Amino acid sequence: MSVIPLKQWVFAPDPAPEAVATLTRTLPIGPVLARLLAQRGIETAAAAQAFFDPKLTDLPSPWLMCDMDVAIARLRRALEEGEKVLVLGDYDVDGITSVALVVSYLRPLADAPGTPEELSRLQPYIPDRHREGYGISMQAVDFAKEHGFSLVVTLDCGIKALEQVAYANTQGVDFIVCDHHLPGEELPAALAVLDPKRPDCHYPYPDLSGCGVGFKLMQALTEQLDLPLAPLYAQLDLVAVSIAADVVPVTGENRILAAHGLRRFNVTQAAAFAPAEPQAYTAADTLDGPVPLHLAPPSPPDGLRPGLAALHELAAPRQGPLSLSSLVFGFAPRINAAGRMGDAHRAVNMLLAPTQQEARYTAEVVDHMNQERRLSDARTTQEALAMIEADPLGATAPATVLYQPHWPQGVLGIVASRCLDQYYRPTVILTERDGLATGSARSVAGFDVHEVLEACAPLLRQFGGHKAAAGLALPIENVEAFREQFMREVAARQPAGQRPVRPIDVDGWLDLRQLTEEFLHEMSQLEPFGPGNPQPIFASTDLRAVPGSVRPVGVAGHLKMRLTQPQQSPGLVVEAIGFGLGHYLPRLLDNPDAILESCYMLEMNEFRGSRTLQLRLMDLRWKE
């Protein structure tokens, strides 16, 4: 039997009144927006202006990152001496966008104009999820050695690849590791290790995405070679996708990168990432000789590269301005699907496609793979939920650990998230690959699943990730012992007998009469929204459902209704939709005169050319 997750409304503390007064006095904003800014630590006009208008000139220097000088010296030598460079990234969105960014930026520096892609000195490499697993594999090192790559740049992986990097050193293959995951006690013996989470790294912003770290590497190279900035900033469309997909905080430097990346999406969705006209070369400028480094990467027009433009046509052809949420739900699943269901190089090729025609073809292939992924994910989720419900302790256990050898590796992270949504507790989903149980872990707010995996480390072959999400592998014979220890470790970190409670962070109370189109426009100044800068959630009280308006929506447990607030907002009726709140339908229908409280996000619903303000309900409460 499924369990309805417990929810707790957590109201933001009142900000300092003087900060709110200062903001309303010095800026043309209303008191609600001023209050939101102060709650988010923005208390002066200067800080607010920097927040509203994030500038690329405020990006921290890339040279503040540990080992950046070593990395750039080695990369520059490789470019100047015509070495072959392998750009290796993880098979998820962050890794794929990272590889596409570095390859598209460096190829004009590494190759003579007109060089066929297959003859480029710079080649992408994404490990096969099923044959190689996550990150750097021994096969990847062998591939680099056998094909003459003297330098490997890793992106979004490698921080724990001690054995693989040590092996590469014996083969004469240099590594520059660019990662953003938590390091272990020891760093790999690479030539350079760029990771803002290194304990000895004093880079001012530790929460970059993997693609963000790759961008910093290119930023440093741009500065050292005194190249124009426009081609570098043209890569921010990829950085924005990575920030959205990898759920990193949208604060500080990430806010700057995401905001400018989104502008490339929203300037025009049809603009192409067109190559510049080739410059004249002498006979010496061939693949057998060094390429002159005065050549800059092409400077594209404002807008998207062909691959993202083609993906936009498939994901959201009629949608208005795109947000990070649009990228999360429209773009990221399609890019991810290539690695989940087949070959992640297809997604890389899509992002590197030089023409709209080639981009459309590869985007359609990737979109088809995403459709297959959705079917596979639905089947596996159904099986996983059935296993939980069949277990006598399934509904009350402190955590979920499931293993089935036939489950497809590529959808386990999604399935773990689906199970977590249903039962709201730390979840591990495992399958069999190459004689090991491998899979994904997901966690609830405020609970460090990486710490629990560290406590279970003697049973594991490898693991890595973040507090909220991780990957792991262990001998199949250890699965039952791991399940028992994982349950014990989770239970030991929770109050006795208490289930995790899903917090809903509420910014404050509003009356429905305050919810106008102008108010929504003012709130949009807080965008881009994401972790660390969430879309505001407000609450209203003394609400009533309009008689006859309460109804189910779809088959997935949603509801729709119209709400009034007779005391505070007489005569006003507001549309409301509650995704996943269908369990409230019986109570609403049985008590049509109930007085309600709701917390919600305010949004604009556009349907068949009409625009209507709508509440996206987060939760309902019955007022006593």
Query: What is the tens place of the pLDDT at every residue in 240-278?
Result: 999 999 989 999 999 999 999 999 988 754 343 333 333
With beta carbons less than 8 A apart as the criterion, state whether 541 and 597 touch: yes
Distance, in Å, from the CA atom of 524 to the CA atom of 516, rounded to the nearest integer, reads 13
With beta carbons less than 8 A apart as the criterion, state whether 239 and 264 touch: no
At how many degrees (to 10) do helices 162-170 and 138-146 cross? 20
User: Among 250, 338, 268, which Cα is nearest to 309's?
Assistant: 268
DSSP 525: G
Q: Which CATH number is 57-368 given? A: 3.90.1640.30
Query: What is the tens place of the pLDDT at every residue in 510-532?
Result: 999 999 999 999 999 999 999 99
Distance, in Å, from the CA atom of 291 to the CA atom of 82, rounded to the nearest integer, reads 7
Query: What is the tens place of the pLDDT at every residue in 85-112?
Result: 999 999 999 999 999 999 999 999 999 8
Beta bridge partners of 538: 508, 600
Q: What pLDDT sits at residue 294?
A: 38
Pairing mode of beta strands 149-155, 400-403? unpaired
Q: What pLDDT sits at residue 279?
A: 34
Q: What pLDDT sits at residue 316?
A: 72
Full DSSP string of 77-145: HHHHTT-EEEEEE-SSHHHHHHHHHHHHHHHHHHS-TT--GGG-SEEEE---TTTT-SS--HHHHHHHH
> Is the domain covering 6-16+503-622 a CATH 2.40.50.460 domain?
yes
Q: SS3 of 422, please?
A: helix
Q: How far are the Cα atoms of 183, 320, 451, 466 from residue 197, in angstroms, in the given order?
A: 7, 36, 16, 11
CATH second-level architecture of 391-497?
A: Roll (3.10)
Burial class (CB in 10 A: 0-12, 13-18, 19+), 579: middle
DSSP 547: T
Q: What pLDDT sits at residue 202?
A: 95
Q: How many CB atoms lie within 10 A of CB 443?
A: 26
SS3 assignment for 350-389: HHHCCCHHHHHHHHHHHHHHHHHHHHHHHHHHHHHHHHHH
Q: Is residue 340 within a helix (H) or strand (E), and if so which, with residue range?
A: helix 332-341
Tokens at 370, concatenated: 């995403």
Classify residue 185 as left (phi > 0), alpha (psi -120 to 50) or beta: alpha
For the chain, helix, strand, coil in percent to 5 are 45, 20, 40
Question: 288: which residues sit within 8 A by CB, 6+ positions away?
Answer: 82
Q: How far are the Cα atoms of 100, 231, 249, 332 from residue 305, in angstroms, in the given order?
A: 11, 12, 25, 16
- Which stretches of the chain drop beneath a pLDDT of 70? 1-5, 268-303, 317-319, 496-497, 556
Distance, in Å, from the CA atom of 592 to the CA atom of 325, rounded to the nearest integer, reads 34
With beta carbons less than 8 A apart as the criterion, state whether 546 and 561 touch: yes
Q: How many CB atoms lie within 10 A of CB 228?
A: 11
User: Among 613, 619, 624, 611, which Cα is nearest to 540's?
Assistant: 619
DSSP 288: T
Burial class (CB in 10 A: 0-12, 13-18, 19+), 568: middle
Distance, in Å, from the CA atom of 179 to the CA atom of 76, rounded to the nearest integer, reads 20
Distance, in Å, from the CA atom of 102 to the CA atom of 235, rounded to the nearest integer, reads 9
Look up tokens 């292939």; give the residue. 365
Domain ranges across the chain: 6-16+503-622, 57-368, 391-497
Q: Is residue 58 within a helix (H) or strand (E), and if so which, with residue range?
A: none
Tokens at 202, concatenated: 């004093």
Beta bridge partners of 174: 151
Beta bridge partners of 85: 122, 151
User: Among 148, 214, 229, 218, which Cα is nearest to 179's?
Assistant: 214
